Amino acid sequence: MGLNVTQKIIKAHLAEGKMKTGAPIAVRIDQTLTQDATGTMAYLQFEAMGVDRVKTDLSVSYVDHNMLQTGFENPDDHAFLQSIAARYGIYFSRPGNGICHQVHLERFGTPGTTLLGSDSHTPTGGGIGQLAMGAGGLDVALAMAGRPFFLKMPKVIGVKLTGCLQAFVSAKDVILEVLRLKTVKGGVGCVFEYFGPGVESLDVPSRSTITNMGAELGATTSVFPSDSVTRAFLKAQGRVDAWKKLVADKSATYDEVIEIDLSALEPMVAMPHMPDKVKKVSEVAGMKVQQVAIGSCTNSSYKDLMTVAAMLDGRTVAPTVSLGISPGSRQVLSMITASGGLSSMIKAGARILESGCGPCIGMGFAPPTGGVTVRSFNRNFEGRSATKSASVILASPETCAAASITGEMTDPRTLGIAPVVVKMPKKYNADDGLIIKPLPPEEALKVQIVRGPNIAPLARAARPGAEISGRVLIKTGDNITTDHIMPAGAKVLPLRSNLPKISEFVFEAVDPEFPKRAKEWGGGFVIGGENYGQGSSREHAALAPMFLGVKAVITKSFARIHLANLINFGILPLTFKDAGDYDRIDQGDELVLDISDIDRPKLEDKTKGLKISVIPQLASERDRELIKAGGALNLASGK
Ligand code: MIC
Ligand code: SF4
C-alpha cells in the first residue's frame, strides 16, 4: 500500500513502536527550535541532563517573544540564551532577526526532516514538507540530548484542495474554513495533510499560513508535499540543495478526507474569543473597529506585507483606527523596504513595530477598553491582547488592510481596489548577519554561562505515594487555554525563568485567588472540561501548578501538548469515565485518589460520599514511569 507524506516521514524516523493509528510511537528528531519565552526553561533542563553538546543535526535558539525590555529580566535572559547557544553548539538568532517560525522556514527548514520546537506554531515548517511539531521545553531539551520524541501515531486527515483562490481571498481564509469545519478540538491526535490539484496554486508562504494555524485545531501538525513550488522557494532563499521531492504515493490513503474548493471561499474571520468562531466577513461588515494589527508567525511574510502595502498605497488609515504592522523577519523588513512597500505603509499612517511576536502575545500595542481589534494573528483568546475587555477578530492581511482603511469590518472585495498580485521573489535577501553560528567543540567548552538574577533554579515534583489526597482547588469549563492557566503578556512573560514568581499568576484571568488558595490548602486537584490546556506549548502551565502543589488534573478531555507537559512534570492526568460525573464534583471537595495500581486508580469524593470512575491518560510504559518518578527530570537523573 502506498504511503502519504506524513507516513513517509514518520517511517523514515521511527525509533520505537508500530505505525498503527493511536499507538504510542517515538520518532528521531533532526532539528529543534526554541524561542526565548520557553527557551530559558528548556535550556535549564538541558543543562541538568549533563550533555556536552546538542546531538541533533541542527538546533536554533530564537529571541522573538520577550522583546520589550522594561527591566533587566528580558535582556538578562537574552544574554543567558546567547551564552547557552555558544556553549552547546546551537545557532543563535538575535533579537531583531524575526519570529522563530518565519526565520526557520526561510533559513533552516528542510523537506522530509523532523523539527521539534518549544512553541505550538512550529508546524509552520509543514509548508515546505517538514514534519514540524510543537512540544514542551523539556521534550525539546530531551531531543537536543539525542532522545526521540514520543507521541501517538496520528490519524492522518487528508485535506483535498481543488480550484484556486479568488482575488482578496487568501490562505488565512482556507485555514479559517478548516477551523469552521473541524473546531478547536477537532484536530487532537491528527495530522492534516494537504493534497489535490489546488495545492500547486499555493506558494510556500500561503502553505505555511495554513500549517501554522493548524495548531488552533489542536492537531499534532499539518503538512504540505514538497514540490516544484517548494523548490522555487528554497532556491530563492539560496538553499536549493536543501530541497527534495516528497509527495504522497498515488495509492496513498487517508484516515479521513475533507474537500475544500478554493474557488468557492470568501474572506472570513474568527470572532471573539475562539479561533473556530468563524463567520464570513460579509456577515459582520459595518462593525466599527478601533485597532488593526498585521503580523505574527501566521501572516507576516513578504507576500502578506506587500499585499497590504499595495492596498494601502495612496490611502490613509481611518482617523478612528490605529494600525500596527510587525514584519515577520528582518528579511521581510529589508525586502519591503527595498521594494517600496514600507514607504506606502508609513505614508498611509501605519505604526511600524519591530520584527517579533509583539501584540500577538500582549507585548505592547494593547487595544483600548472594550475595543475591537482586527488581527492577522492566530489566537483571539480573551485577555491575550492584554486588554481583557477587548474583542479580537482574526482575519487575513487583506481583510485587516480593508478594515484599517474604512474603520469598520469590510469585505476587501468591495473596496473597489484592483486585485493585487505579488510576484514571489526570484531571490530573497539571504543576509544572516543576526544569526550567530555554533562554535567549534573545543572553543564551546570554554564558554561561561551568563546567569542574571532572574534565572531561578529548577524545581522538581516529589515522587507520589500510593495515595493522592487533597481538595479541588478549581473547577473550570470547556476549552480552557494555557493562556487561562498561565497568562503571558508584558507583565508575566519576563518571569518565565523564575518559577516562584510566575506561579503567583496561575489562573489569574479565571480566578486570581487560585495561587493563595493552592498554598493555603497545601495543593490538590484541578477539575476541567473538554480540551483542557489547548493553545500554546508553554510548560509553565504545568510547571507552575506543580510548584503550587497540584498533583492531578481530572477533565473530560485534554489537548495534546499540555497533556504531555503535565506528565513530564509528574502531574497525573485523568479523564472522567462518565463525563456526567464532572457535574457532581465541586470546588472545595475533599478527594482521595488511590493509585497503588496506576492503571486502575480509584477516586473518592469524601465530601459528597461518591465513588467516581476515572481513566488515567497514560499512553505508554514511559508515561507510567514518568508519573511514578515525579516527572522527567527525576527520571532522567535517577532521583
Ligand atoms: C503563543 O503563541 O501562545 C506562544 C507564546 O508562542 C506560546 C509559547 C509560549 O507560551 O512561550 C506557544 O504558542 O507555544
Ligand atoms: Fe509569537 Fe504569536 Fe506566533 Fe506565538 S503565535 S510564536 S506569540 S507570533
pTM over 0.95: yes
Ligand 2 center to residue 556 CA distance, Å? Answer: 28
pLDDT of residue 362: 96
Question: 268-414: what CATH class?
Answer: alpha beta
pLDDT at position 400 over 90? yes
| Residue 572 confidence (pLDDT) above 70 | yes
pLDDT at 500 (0 to 100): 93
CA of 596 to the centre of ligand 1 (A): 36
pLDDT in tens, 5-16: 999 999 999 999
At residue 161, the pLDDT reads 98
Ligand 2 centroid distance, CA of 159 (Å): 25
**Grid cell locating 21:** 493509528
Pairing of strands 58-62, 550-555: unpaired
pLDDT of residue 626: 96
Give the integer Cα–Cα distance in Å for 473 and 517: 7
Element of type H or E holding 483: helix 482-485
121 within ligand 1 shell (Cβ under 6 A): yes
In angstroms, the first-to-last Cα distance of the chain is 46
Ligand 2, from 66, 97, 99: best to mutate by most atoms within 8 Å of Cβ?
A: 99
Known catalytic residue: 52? no
- Of the pLDDT bands very low, low, confident and very high (cuts 50, 70, 90), residue 514 is very high
pLDDT tens track for 196-215: 999 999 999 999 999 999 99
Q: What is the average per-residue pLDDT within 457-470?
A: 92
For residue 360, the ligand closest to its alpha carbon is 2
Evaluate if residue 639 carries a pLDDT over 70: no
Alpha carbons within 13 angstroms on the beta-carbon side of residue 630 total 16
Domain ranges of the chain: 268-414, 467-634
- State the pLDDT at residue 58: 98
Question: Per-residue pLDDT for 550 more than 80?
Answer: yes
pLDDT in tens, 585-618: 999 999 999 999 999 999 999 999 999 999 999 9
Atom of ligand 2 nearest to the CA of 361: 7
Write the residue with the smallest CA distance to atom 13 of ligand 1: 536
pLDDT, residue 635, reads 85
Of ligand 1's listed atoms, the one at least distance from the Cα of 493 is 11
Task: Give pLDDT, residue 459.
Answer: 86
Question: What pLDDT digit, counting tens, does each position of 93-132 carry?
Answer: 999 999 999 999 999 999 999 999 999 999 999 999 999 9
CB atoms within 10 A of CB 469: 17
> Is pLDDT of 159 > 80?
yes
- 1 pLDDT tier (thresholds 50, 70, 90): confident
The percentage of residues in the chain with a pLDDT greater than 70, rounded to a whole number, is 100
Does residue 558 contact residue 213 with C-beta atoms inside 8 Å?
A: no
**Residue-wise DSSP of 116-164:** EESSTTGGGGGGGT-EEEE--HHHHHHHHTTPPEEEE--EEEEEEEES-
Q: Is the pLDDT of residue 633 over 90?
A: no
* Residue 638 in this model has a pLDDT that exceeds 70: no
Banded pLDDT at 440 (limits 50, 70, 90):
very high
* Residues pairing with 436 in the sheet: 92
Q: How far is the CA of 63 from the centre of ligand 2 (A)?
A: 12
| Average per-residue pLDDT for the chain | 97
59 is catalytic: no
β-pairing, 467-475 with 590-594? antiparallel
Q: What angle do CA 418, 422, 424 make, to 5 degrees?
A: 165
Distances in Å between the alpha carbon of 220 and those of 118, 120, 123, 189, 570? 13, 9, 8, 6, 22
Catalytic residue list contains 536: yes
pLDDT of 637 > 80? The answer is no
Q: Is 562 in the pocket of ligand 1 (CB under 6 A)?
A: no
Ligand 2 pocket member 296 (CB < 6 A)? yes
Catalytic one of 538, 540, 560, 562: 538
The residue nearest atom 1 of ligand 2, judged by CA position, is 357
Query: Does the beta carbon of 474 lie inside 6 Å of ligand 2?
Result: no
> Each residue of 289-299: pLDDT tens digit?
999 999 999 99
The reported pLDDT for the residue numbered 176 is 99
Using the mean position of ligand 2's atoms as its centre, give its distance from the Cα of residue 497 in Å: 19
**pLDDT tens-digit map of 328-384:** 999 999 999 999 999 999 999 999 999 999 999 999 999 999 999 999 999 999 999
Q: Is 378 in the pocket of ligand 2 (CB under 6 A)?
A: yes
DSSP string, 253-299: --SEEEEEEGGG---EEE-TT-TT-EEEHHHHTT-B-SEEEE-TTTS
Residues 154-167 have a mean pLDDT of 98
Per-residue pLDDT at 460: 86
- Whether the predicted pLDDT of 92 surpasses 70: yes
Which pLDDT score is estimated for 376?
A: 99
pLDDT at 636 over 80: no
pLDDT score of 260 more than 80:
yes
CATH of domain 467-634: 3.20.19.10
Structure confidence by residue, pLDDT tens digits, 468-482: 999 999 999 999 999
**pLDDT band of 79, cuts 50, 70, 90:** very high
491: which 3 cell numbers? 507583565
- Residue 426, pLDDT > 80, answer yes
